[in-house]
Amino acid sequence: MGLVEQLHDDIDSEKIWQEIYTLLLSQDELKNLDQISLTSIDGNNDWTCSVGRISTLEYPERYYSTINKTLAGTELEKTLNRYPQYYRWRLMKIDPKKTYSVHKDGNDISDNLRIHIPLQTNEGCFLCFYLTVPLNQKDSVVRHVHLETGKSYIVNTTGFHTAVNYGNTQRYHLVGVKYENSNNRTQ
């Protein structure tokens, strides 16, 4: 697998976005968050249990695998259930003119694969992959990839990467996680 691989092109991003806006982003305590947990340990609508860095989580990522009860019966639940091997599902937002820090996910024995399902994006939103690490103040090659709504993608986030929003509107993606032995890929 390369860095990004398209899985499906039949995602109803508009319907899912309307559900998220109605069920979650209409709530004052959730509308300004950069990350919202869609899955939790027990499904009891804990919207912040799996947000933030892996090192700050109370439990291993795979424990955050039960879809929150408020999402039962929705197109969003149907979409998450389509990818049962993924867990720690979150809604992730990047505001206009913002970027995440450059980082890498995972550990030394597995690849970190994430599924991205864009719900709202613009032409200035990219995942950026650092193909080499700049040494001795030399240049490095960075690959920019734009993900389109209506599609799902597997993204290998094991190496250094970031996400940027050069645009004027917010970018929202659904993101799930799984680890896979790099010598034993099934995808």
pTM: 0.92
Q: Tell me the pLDDT of the chain averaged across its residues.
A: 91
Residue-wise pLDDT tens digits, 91-111 = 999 999 999 988 887 666 678
d(Cα 125, Cα 57) in Å, to the nearest integer?
27
Report yes or no: 103 and 161 within 8 Å, Cβ to Cβ.
yes
Q: 3-state DSSP call for residue 55?
A: helix
All domains of the chain in start order, with CATH: 4-180 (2.60.120.10)
How many CB atoms neighbour CB 65 within 10 A? 19
Residue-wise pLDDT tens digits, 1-49 = 789 999 999 999 999 999 999 999 998 999 999 999 999 999 999 999 9
Percentages (nearest 5) of helix, strand, coil residues in the chain: 15, 35, 50
* More confident site: 132 or 91: 91
Residue 110 in tokens: 């597995």
Report yes or no: 70 and 108 within 8 Å, Cβ to Cβ.
no
Predicted local distance difference test score (pLDDT) of residue 179: 85
Tell how far CA 109 is from the center of its chain: 21
* Torsion angle in degrees (nearest 10) through CA of 39, 52, 97, 112: -80
